[in-house]
A and B are shown apart, each in its own frame.
Chain A
Amino acid sequence: MPERDQTTLRVLDTGLRPAAENMAFNRSLLECHQEGVSPHTLRFLQFEPCALVGFHQNVDQEINTEYCKEHGIAIQRRITGGGAIYFDATQLGWELYLDKRFLGTADMGQIAARICNAAAAGMRSLGVDAQFRPRNDIEVDGRKISGTGGAFDGESIMYQGTLLIEFDVEDMLRILRIPAEKLSNKAIESARDRVVNLATLLEEMPALDVVKDAIARAFAEEFGVRTEAADLLPEERRAFDAALAEIDTEEWVYQRNRPATDAPMFESIFKSDGGLMRVGAALDPERKRLKQLWITGDIFVKPARTIADLEAALRDTPQAEMEDRVRAFFAERDVEMLQLTADDFIAAIQSALAQAEVDSAAAQ
């Protein structure tokens, strides 16, 4: 195997593509990188409207497939982890193909943090105060501007993220399998408050090429390499064709499908001395895992972003670890709360989880 050039990052721009092609690039480029064929690479990508589930997710459980069909929205499966997302041309995708030697660590958490910090620096150079929010987000003042995830094979890694440019979160909520009655205007507004677009933050939105340059420069600086725009290699093209033939199929998209179980979301209202807290919890009942939390209420917490950080820290948490993670979260932060304690958050979340148990007992 020829020694890979450790001083250059190839920049590949594959433009606007259907989801299946973008997923096939993920598979084939990671494979080619692992075989030593591909150079270290930064790829920019954009999507025709699509719903993407995480590698381990069940399409029928996560996605409103009827709505997608009616609106010509493709459904695809990522090779990376995490939850279902909506992707369209109002977001820019970026992804890196590197190896552990280049990154100087094999610790997956550290790799994610380093890449996210660099991507955030690139966004900051455009004039927004983007920061890495553990474990996998980049945010501006507590509002998410980028979500990320990765895949690995042997020594090679592929790590990818979004950048919201002019994204409307309502489009995302519509493709997710959320009961209609939960899609109130208030719920949509509340979801909108949690994300932010680059175009909203900047007085004048720069050309997309300027955004790409800023991100490429930040990665080059972080890794101490130069960037070089280049095309696909013939081997990569062949691997892409083979991957597309496998991925652009119902078999790939609907693998591990099982019938959707009802009511995967639970809500509870919890009253404490510090105020009224409303907790929504999306669960993966089969794996006893908390997928996502939404915490609102008339509570005083400073800095205000603490709640969003807590939600991010608790994403994809085994239920048995929830309490420890909440305690660890508050232990390592300087948070000002009015008559509110970590125990109140734990109790509020537990009351939402108890709701799940009531429902499942009733179903049996």
Chain B
Amino acid sequence: MGAVRGCDIPEDLMYNVENNVWVRKESDGTATVGLTSYACSLAGTIVSYTPKKVGKTVKKDKSCTTVESGKWVGPAKTPVTGEVTETNDKVAANPGLINEDPYGEGWLIKLKPEDWDGEVGDLKTGSDALAAFEAKMEADGFGGC
């Protein structure tokens, strides 16, 4: 697995680096969205998770979930537009799972992408993603995960 400054960044996922989120197309045509390990490190332990409701359409780069950590509240922004098909019950019961396993059990939402091919062009993957995260961490003055 790829890593930047000690933060895991799996090279097979697609990232919106600025918004610190990843997306993965699943075999059933849905897409899974989550926070990066870098986002989790900046936030600290996440204590609340409120996803948009199943059936609601979330727009690219708009909030698909609200999270809270250490009294900070903010949105996680979806990298692609789509209708929410599933939210994560395990994370609802234990929001800290997002920190523990951001690319696995700690996913945020699954959605049915509206225009996958049209929207993923500006997302980064593989070594491009690693380089973009390195640049972001530099700009953010980040020491490491």
Contact = CB atoms under 8 A, between A and B. Distances in A.
Interface residues of B, number: 27
A149 B18 CA distance: 23
Contact of A321 (B45, B75, B140, B142): B45
Contacts of A105: 140-142
Interface residues of A, number: 34
A135 B44 CA distance: 11
B95 interface: yes
14 contacts: A55-B48, A81-B72, A106-B42, A107-B42, A107-B142, A109-B44, A112-B71, A136-B70, A136-B71, A150-B71, A288-B93, A288-B94, A289-B47, A318-B47
B85 interface: no
A320 B45 CA distance: 12
Interface of B: 18-19, 41-45, 47-48, 50, 66, 68-75, 93-96, 139-142
A108 B94 contact: no
Interface of A: 54-56, 79-82, 100-101, 104-109, 112, 135-136, 148-154, 256, 286-289, 316, 318, 320-321
A150 B71 CA distance: 6
Contact of A287 (B95, B139, B142): B95
A104 B141 contact: yes
B75 A55 contact: no
A286 B91 CA distance: 11
Contacts of A288: 93-94
A153 B62 CA distance: 10
A153 B142 CA distance: 19
B93 A286 contact: yes
Contacts, number: 92
B93 A151 contact: no
Contacts of A287: 47-48, 93-95
B107 to A, nearest CB: 18
A112 B73 contact: no
B75 A153 contact: yes
Residue with the greatest number of chain A CB neighbours at <10 A, chosen from B44, B47, B69: B47
Residue with the greatest number of chain A CB neighbours at <10 A, chosen from B18, B69, B74, B142: B74
Nearest to B20: A106
Given A105-B140, A105-B141, A106-B42, A150 B73 contact: yes
Contacts of B74: 151-153
Contacts of A106: 42, 140-142
